[in-house]
Structures are given as C-alpha cells and as structure tokens.
Homo-oligomer: A and B are copies of this chain.
Amino acid sequence: MTQASHTVGRHLLADLSGISAPLLRDSGALESLLRAAARAAGATVLGSHFHHFGAGGGVTGVVLLAESHLSLHTWPETGFAAADIFMCGRCDPMVAIEVLLAALEPTERRVEVVLRGAAAVERA
C-alpha cells in the first residue's frame, strides 16, 4: 500500500450541449461561475485566467486550485462547452459539476469520471 497516495483524485470531463450562446460569450460570468463551483466543492482557488476571443467568439479559461484545477472552453456558435474538473484531497468534483450544470442549463450532457493515479494503486 506504499503507493496509495497515487490515487490523487477524480477528474471529470463534461461535454455540454444546448447552452445559451450569450452566456457562452460572457467571460466574466463564466469566471465567477467556475470560481464559485470550486469554492462549493471545498477547494482553494489560487488564481484564474479567462480569455474572450471577442465579437461572436467563445471563452477559454482555467481556475488553478491548491487541489488541481477547473477549466471551461466554449463554442457559442454551436451552444457547446467542454469543462474539466480535477480535484484531489477532500474536495468533491461532483458538487462543482452540479453548480456548473445548474447555471449553464445544457440540454444534453456527457460526463466522464476518470480516477487519476489508479494504476499505481492497483499495483500496490
């Protein structure tokens, strides 16, 4: 069990469709949303960086956590957003994704959960 600490956390990949285009262009609102999702999950925000591509373009952004990160990349022209939430320690990424889903209101979603570091643990 010497490598138990290699189970570092859960990594959620969320493909979200059918989201309001104006929301997917609102860099400030999306940055606030991801920071709020991080806090709701019990994480410590170290910083965030969001970029809006301008005009009708989307947003690309990341929130750096003491417990890993969240990211969101949006395509307003198709109502699509790709989120990932990686959290270790006592944080719960399922809480964070629920905050995102409640605000973005996608009509369709695909959420994949990957256990990071699991291979090392399986060998222990």
Contacts and interface: CB of A to CB of B under 8 A. Distances in A.
Interface residues of A, number: 40
Contacts of A73: 8, 68-69, 86, 88
A32 interface: no
A47 interface: yes
A117 B47 contact: no
5 A-B pairs with least C-beta separation: A62-B62, A110-B119, A82-B116, A47-B49, A49-B64
Given A77-B5, A78-B6, A11 B84 contact: yes
Interface of A: 3, 5-6, 8, 11, 13, 15, 17, 46-47, 49, 51, 53, 60-62, 64-66, 68-69, 71, 73, 75, 77-78, 80, 82, 84, 86, 88, 108, 110, 112, 114, 116-120
